[in-house]
Amino acid sequence: MGPAIPPTLTGPSGTNMGTDYFFSDKQGEQYRNEGFVVVERLFDSSDMARVDATIRQMMDQALSGGDYSKILELEPEALDGQRVPRRIFNPYDQHETFRALAHDSRLLDKIESLIGGSFNLHHSKLNMKPAKVGSAVEWHQDMAYFPHTNDDLVTTLVYLDDATEENGCLQVLPRHHTHYFDHAGPDGRFAGMITEDLSDFGKPKSLPAPAGSVIFMHCITPHASLPNRSSRPRRTLIYEYRANDAFPIYYGEMTNLAEATFRLIRGKPARFARFGGPRPLIPNVGKYTSLYDLQSRSKAEMKA
């Protein structure tokens, strides 16, 4: 990780006036050592009710006719004869409810504790992991998808439902956010998933937590989730925050696509890029494909 962590984790440069939501030193230390911190019930039931209503409204609109492919992606397997959404693209730009959450101090003060007070939103997405047919997410490191000049990017995952092992809560491999695992398939192309055997690298940790809880995860922390065969969905809203002086490394069309969702959140645009963290892994990617499709294709190729 780069040097952007402020000297005190309890507030920016001594300004600790009024209500703030900064991490404690202990939480900051856990993030730096383990590669993640979970804050239970950071958002309350009224926040969750607003998000529920918004998702219902967006789904009704998107699926009531017309081309939904710019708004969401469907699960390949039908649920009770109907295709159901697996991911909503770019919720930040699609609805004010998601913009309000992305700018909420309860989140942003904590991000500031981790990467300093000057940062932007790199992208947002909402993984629906519906009951019974919710797809797995294979082990991967987020920064393997979007290399940057430094690693001060925080993946923030907001559970919108109670998440348990049964409905596919997130799993992480702690203490492995300081190096990359290989993400290349047998032909050398980006597989979208870790292609090394992880069994010698410690025990994965499941992160069950109630709705409204938030996982703050370093962008190189390996993570995955099981398919959801339970009767309850496990929706997760994801915001990727990035220090303003972490600049993307161009590796093709995907870089441009990701930059289209950039939004300044706190501080000013940086005048200089900062270099830090492990040497960035560069994905050998062709055209854009969804993470899920890429991973299932890679899995099939690796089995063949």
Considering the complex, what minimum distance in angstroms separates the CB of residue 238 from ligand AKG?
A: 6
Interaction of residue 48 with ligand AKG, rule CB under 6 A: no
Interaction of residue 127 with ligand AKG, rule CB under 6 A: yes
Interaction of residue 194 with ligand AKG, rule CB under 6 A: no
Considering the complex, what minimum distance in angstroms separates the CB of residue 221 from ligand AKG?
A: 10
Interaction of residue 71 with ligand AKG, rule CB under 6 A: no
Beta strands in 77-229 (DSSP E): 85-89, 119-127, 137-140, 153-159, 170-172, 205-206, 214-218, 223-225
Interaction of residue 236 with ligand AKG, rule CB under 6 A: yes
């830090």: which residue's tokens? 276
Interaction of residue 132 with ligand AKG, rule CB under 6 A: no
Cα 240 from chain centroid (whole Å): 6
CA angle (179, 240, 135) in 5-degree steps:
85
Considering the complex, what minimum distance in angstroms separates the CB of residue 134 from ligand AKG?
A: 9
Question: Which one, of 191, 194, 165, 190, lies nearest residue 179 by Cα?
Answer: 194
Q: 156 — phi, psi (to 5°)?
A: -115, 115
Interaction of residue 218 with ligand AKG, rule CB under 6 A: no
Interaction of residue 235 with ligand AKG, rule CB under 6 A: no
Cα–Cα separations (whole angstroms), residue 169 to 30, 31, 79, 213: 20, 19, 20, 12
Residue selected from 150, 195, 225, 295 as contacting ligand AKG according to rule CB under 6 A = 225
What whole-number distance in Å separates Cα of residue 241 and Cα of residue 120?
A: 6
| β-pair partners for 238 | 125, 157
Residue selected from 132, 177, 218, 223 as contacting ligand AKG according to rule CB under 6 A = 223
What whole-number distance in Å separates Cα of residue 271 and Cα of residue 291?
A: 32
Question: In this structure, which amino acid lies at residue 17?
Answer: M
x-or-dash pattern for ligand AKG, window 239-278, by CB under 6 A?
Answer: ----------------------------------------
Interaction of residue 55 with ligand AKG, rule CB under 6 A: no
Interaction of residue 170 with ligand AKG, rule CB under 6 A: yes
Q: Which residues bind ligand AKG (CB under 6 A)?
A: 127, 137, 170, 223, 225, 236, 291
